[in-house]
Homo-oligomer: A and B are copies of this chain.
């Protein structure tokens, strides 16, 4: 899409770990595993999917720990999640770790999730800030609608 600064950190996990330490929090096996899974997947994963993947890499990690790790990482702005319709939350690395924010768009019919360029919401963010001082978080936005295939039925 846009060229230029696309890779702020060669290894998102290492950078995230650095930031965990910088905040005075602990770097644990579970947290690192969660970060690694999210970085490798480079996709939005449900907590359950993360649990499954982490269990493969580091058996013995409890389901609850995944939730607590995600919660901690979210407080540190290293992970964000979105909620689409009635499905479970889907987590992903924060935009600044993966080279620019992406906006997720999901089709309400077939459930497919796609990306849109991160600057899609820049204007919206600007208007919200100007009109009511609202600081939009683009990484937490979920756009719902109908994808190309499902938009023109009949």
- A contacts, CB < 8 Å to B: 83-86, 89, 105, 107-108, 114, 116, 120-121, 123-125, 127-128, 131-137, 140-148, 151
Query: In the complex the two chains form, is B151's CB within 8 Å of A133's CB?
Result: yes
Query: In the complex the two chains form, is B140's CB within 8 Å of A144's CB?
Result: yes
Q: Which of B85, B114, B133, B144 contacts A141 (CB 8 A)?
A: B144
- Identical subunits present: 2
Instruction: Give chain A's interface secondary structure class.
Output: mixed
Query: In the complex the two chains form, is B134's CB within 8 Å of A127's CB?
Result: no
Query: In the complex the two chains form, is B127's CB within 8 Å of A124's CB?
Result: no
**Docked CA distance A145–B134 (Å):** 7
Which chain B residues lie closer than 8 Å to A125 at the CB level?
145
